Amino acid sequence: MLLGIDEEAGRLRDATVSPAAFSPPSPSSGDAPPVLDVLLTCPSCGSFHVAQMLGDNGGISFVCTACGHSWS
C-alpha cells in the first residue's frame, strides 16, 4: 500500500528511535564496536529530520524539516 506524503510524514514524525540502538556494545562482549554514523539533531526541537543546504556564501547550513528551524 502506498501512502500519501502527509501520511508518510506523519508516520516518520511519530516514529521513535531507541537510544539503545546507538550505544556501542559493552567491552566485555568481545565484539568489535560497530561504526556509528553521527546523527545530527535539531537544536530547537531535537528531531533527527535535518537537511543540509548550501549557503549563499558557499558555506553549509542546516534546516530541520520537522519544525523549520535553520542554523549553520
Q: How much is the pLDDT for 64?
A: 92
Residues constituting the chain: 72
pTM: 0.46
pLDDT confidence bin for 65, thresholds 50/70/90: very high
Contact 25, 11 (CB under 8 A): no
Q: How much is the pLDDT for 26?
A: 58
Q: How much is the pLDDT for 44?
A: 92
Calpha distance 42→49 (Å, rounded): 8
Q: What is the pLDDT of residues 10-54, one digit of tens each?
A: 777 766 555 555 555 555 555 655 555 567 899 999 898 999 988
